[in-house]
Amino acid sequence: MSEAYDLAVVGAGVHGGTVALLCARAGLRTVLLERGSLFREASGVNAGTLTMQMTRVALIPYALRAHAMWAGARRWLGHDVGVVVCDGLSLAFTEAEEELLAFRAGKRRDAGAPIDLVSPARAAEVEPGLGPGVRLAGHCRVDGYANAYLTGLAYAAALREAGVAIRENAPVTAVEPSDAGYALATAAGETIRARRLVLAGGVWLEPMLAWFGLHVPIRVLINQLAVTERLGPVMRTVVGIASGLLSLKQYPHGTVVIGGGWQGRGDRVRGAVELVPESLVGNLRLACHAIPALRAARLARAWAGLEAETADALPIAGPIPGCPEAYAIGSVHSGYTSGPYIAALLADRILEREPALPLFPLDRLLPEAAVPA
């Protein structure tokens, strides 16, 4: 069986889903292929944090625009994604954390993030649930979180409304150039032909790019998360710490999601296969130290999800060298916040519109000899 499209997107997370949606709305006949279910890999199992304080400095201009997209999702996506916009705090409990926080907050502020360094007393006014021992805090007025599950449902509905052909549980096993663009082979034996191609596979971008003879190492992180049972109000902000080992927020229905990048076990092939109890306990202790009311909470569930990271922790977003009308996007540390906007920029590039901000070329990650002429 063979079908022809204007655009084939491989990978149905925030990056791939946004590119597919915007290109389909612009008139391209688009197919979106996903190895599993829509938005159930990294984009579906993360904590949904939308923050400037964990965003790389170079991404701040992108993250600010993306935050506005998240906040206005009902308007442009057409569906609710459970976004809560609130204040965010990054805490320093030690002298070393204080120095790190002051340095990082200054760099992010210089890049445009509205982050102020505040005293412990001011931090307690912003978040009355804070525990003792805070030496300094970074306060950002542009923060919040999305519900990753609702986001997946919203994107699925929007994609179908835009006429995107969706292929779930359809791993792509090979891509080859063809006279009309690219031929994609799936594990089910289907051949899909498309004039343009976007690889948006996250941690799987490394083997995907190998289809074109390119070796781009992608680090795979196995991030552990936990969620409590429903509680009465214990916090009203997003709380982290300067070291980056904590991310806390309480959802409107009362559960508290606890993350921060504590590592579990797994890999690209097997996925996240095992939690590390010592890391889970450490994460929970840190959470209870920041918000003491959590000591009375019961843990409902813990899980781990994959996160992809390039060598410089910045995105891949741009053309694949030597491959006409083929692009790659994704693999950025803490990329959920900035994802929709970076994907919108790539969609502009595909649609031959000038992106408002620069993309992130793939060739910067390749040895000079590996870049096709």
Judge whether 125 lies within some domain. yes
User: End of a domain among 270, 294, 309?
Assistant: 309
pLDDT digits (tens, 9 = 90+) for 240-268: 999 889 999 999 999 999 999 999 999 99
- The verdict on residue 13 lying in a domain is yes
Residues 224 and 304 in one domain: yes
Q: Please report the pLDDT score of residue 2 as a whole number.
A: 58
- Examine the fold and report which residue of 309, 339, 356 is the final residue of a domain before the chain moves on: 309
Please identify, among 286, 309, 332, the residue that sits at the C-terminal boundary of a domain.
Answer: 309
User: Which residues have a Cβ under 8 Å from the Cβ of 194 and sit 6 or more positions away?
Assistant: 4, 5, 6, 7, 8, 31, 181, 182, 184
Q: How high is the pLDDT of residue 367?
A: 83
Cα 152 to Cα 366: distance, rounded to the nearest angstrom: 33
Q: The pTM is what?
A: 0.95
Task: Dump pLDDT digits (tens) for 69-89.
Answer: 999 999 999 999 999 999 999
Query: For helices 60-71 and 339-350, what crossing angle results, to 10°?
Result: 100
Residues paired with residue 224 on neighbouring β-strands, in sequence order: 304
What range defines the domain where residue 107 resides? 86-141+219-309
Cα 335 from Cα 315, distance rounded (Å): 8
Whole-number pLDDT of residue 1: 46
Q: Tell whether the model's pLDDT for residue 372 goes beyond 70.
A: no
Q: With 70 as the cut, is the pLDDT of residue 90 above it?
A: yes
Say if residue 225 is in the same domain as residue 305. yes
Structure tokens at 20: 């597919």
Residue 236 shares a structural domain with residue 356: no
| CA atoms of 312 and 337, how far apart (whole Å) | 17
Together in a domain, 126 and 243: yes
Whether residues 285 and 155 share a domain: the answer is no
What is the predicted pLDDT for the residue at 373?
Answer: 45
For residues 34 and 179, membership in a common domain is answered with: yes
The answer on 300 and 224 residing in a single domain is yes
Q: Are residues 319 and 304 in the same domain?
A: no
Give the CATH number, domain containing residue 246: 3.30.9.10
Residue 4: name the closest of 165, 144, 162 by CA.
165
Confirm whether 66 is domain-assigned: no
Do 232 and 352 share a domain, yes or no? no
Segment 307-355, tens digit of pLDDT: 999 999 999 999 999 999 999 999 887 788 999 999 999 999 999 999 9
Number of domains in the chain: 2
- Asked whether residue 324 falls in the same domain as residue 304, the answer is no
Tokens of 134: 């805070």
The answer to whether residue 196 sits within a structural domain is yes
Q: Does residue 64 sit within a domain?
A: no
